[in-house]
Amino acid sequence: MLETQFPETAETQPELLAHHYTAAGLYESALAYWKRAGERALGRSASREATVSFARALSALQQLPENRDTREQAIDLRLALRTALLPSGTFGRILEVLREAETLAESLNDPRRLGQVAFFMTIYFYHTGDPERAMTVGQRALALTSGDVGLHAVTNNYLGSVHHAQGEYQRAMDCYRRTVAALDDALRRERFGRLILPAVHARTWLAWCCAEVGTFAEGIAMGEEGCRIAEAVGHQVSLILAYWGAGLPYLHQGDLSQALPLLERALDICQDVDLPFVFPWVASSLGLAYALSGRVADALPLLAQAVEQSAALGPRVDHALFVATLGEALLLAGRLGGDAPPRRAGA
């Protein structure tokens, strides 16, 4: 077997073995190595590579006899493919993949996998700006995952995001605090099929909520915790969100000397990886920080790029926020040379 002859290649470049086994028609081995290649690609935030690998794994799976085990794998691979697709913002394809997974899970009468699908549907409806359906599906996900501490916690996390998007900050904060409390110790390092470490995501959005309601000390503490977790794991997407979230309380508080280095660090990492879905959040906040500090020439191109990239990804819950932030910066630019602008942060 190739993996015994070339163990290092099997570990570090599983896609090479996957190609070999596919060409040889050894689909069971090909499936295992395409899946491993996809997981490795996700681990280093190479979402396009992961998308290709998981799609090839599904193709290999279709060549195997159909039974309960292969159906379960078909669900799991579609959920992994959904995670790989998210950074590109291809929501039409994401919904298609989730519907396929849901149909398979229903045919197997598999509550755990139905709960996973419901959780990812919650995220889909949140991102596409349908809070009512997100809340309904999220409550179903909570019911189905009551025995799974991790998945139950991350479902609560996204229900918090639904509340946050509607300006219900206290409800959102309650959800995020439950997630933070549940994902303690070793669970902090688990992704639970997510692109971002949920322990980091919860702290980032909790820091954002704290910034909105003015509880800056808690927000700063949550942001710092998120950074420590992401740095310990060394996961690039989580690092982007952690540094961005850590900068938000300082930005809203008007402490630009603290906000700018964190937001700039987030943008630096964001530009090193292929994450068009994440970029508008970071660019919009950093652009506003530049505008508030009088660096309009740096602010406006960055804010315009955030709006343009967000629009290119299709409907999303936060696009209006990016447009409003660009408008605020334009207003600030018109005041240059006059009275000092108010130190308000809307991103």
Closest CA to 269 of 321, 231, 297, 296: 231
Q: What does the alpha-carbon distance between residue 43 and residue 205 come to, in Å, rounded to a whole number?
A: 22
If we measure between CA atoms, which residue out of 70, 80, 163 comes closest to residue 116? 80
Tokens encoding 194:
């997510």
Q: Does position 249 have pLDDT exceeding 50, yes or no?
A: yes
Chain-centroid distance, C-alpha 8: 31
Distance separating alpha carbons of residues 251 and 277, to the nearest angstrom: 22
Q: In the prediction, which pLDDT does 312 show?
A: 86
The b-or-e profile of 266-287 (16+ CB within 10 A means b, else e) is: bbebbeebebebbbbbbbbbbb
Count CB atoms within 10 A of the CB of residue 251. Answer: 26
In this prediction, residue 1 carries a pLDDT of 60
Computed over every residue of the chain, the mean pLDDT equals 90
Instruction: Enter the pTM of the model.
Output: 0.84
Give the Cα separation of 205 and 165 in Å (integer). 11
User: Is residue 9 scored above 80 in pLDDT?
Assistant: no
For the domain 183-269, what is the CATH code? 1.25.40
Enter the tokens of residue 91: 């929501």
Name the CA dihedral angle for 74, 77, 78, 80, rounded to a multiple of 10 degrees.
160
Section 240-255 average pLDDT: 97
Is 88's pLDDT higher than 60?
A: yes
